[in-house]
Amino acid sequence: MSKPIALITGGSRGIGFGVAQALALQGYDLAINGLRTAEEASAAIESLRTLGARVEYCRGDISCATDRKAILDTVRQQFGALHLLVNNAGVAPKVRNDILEMEETSWDFVMNCNLKGPFFLTQAVANWMIRQKQLSPDTCFSIITITSISATVVSTNRGEYCVSKAGLAMVSQLFATRLGEHGIAVYEVRPGVIKTDMTTSVSSKYDKLLAEGLCIQGRWGLPEDVGRTVASLARGDLPYSTGQVIMVDGGLTVPRL
């Protein structure tokens, strides 16, 4: 197969779409996962195809074991291989409640999608990549997980989201450690304030904070900022850095006086 294959969860919108665009431009063929119907995702899929990529849409909920299996079965059937997994899909709480008022249903909803789903998808992909690596030792395989500055930056009105991202950061380090002996690189990309559908409801809040100096680089982050970072990692630009966290936050988390 002449082109590498990437599976991007949540790849038809927001950060995932920015990642998909960057990888398509780098020569990847793409398996795009999402919850929307194929018809609803069709505009995004066709846009990616105009960049020269073969693109297959794999609808499914990564928090569901049956759906995870179906997604990977589709990738196997359509492409026969998988060289890069980008764990990107994630949800915010449906209601931002103070942690003193958070409901268990919200905790379960967020943790299932943001933590359990990526963990077990990564587990399945890792085992497949190990088998592929044994058959093709010179081929590059990698796993890149998109987390958030919320892994360490506290928001008490969405505690379940913060905990899920902190847990996902550990998942990345666990798999980096376990897969090192197999030559499979694992990275975490940690975005800051990115302009997507998820941040639309708080855009005025962050417009004000950015104007007041929230970030060293005083602008919103964009999906393509994250996409270019993922493409660089996938290309092998940081070959001796497995397990590392790459910040894409405009300097938001740099300690300043």
Which residues are known catalytic residues?
A: 161
Residue 36 CA: distances (Å) to CA of 11, 52, 135, 140, 235: 11, 23, 35, 31, 29
140 C-beta neighbours (distance < 10 Å), count? 16
β-pair type (29-34, 84-87): unpaired
Q: Per DSSP, what are the bridge partners of residue 9? A: 33
Q: CA-CA-CA-CA torsion for 167, 168, 171, 176, nearest 10 degrees?
A: -140
Q: For residue 217, what are its two tokens?
A: 């680089």
Q: How many helices (H) and strands (E) does the chain have?
A: 8, 7
Q: What are the start-end ranges of the E strands in 28-80?
A: 29-34, 55-59
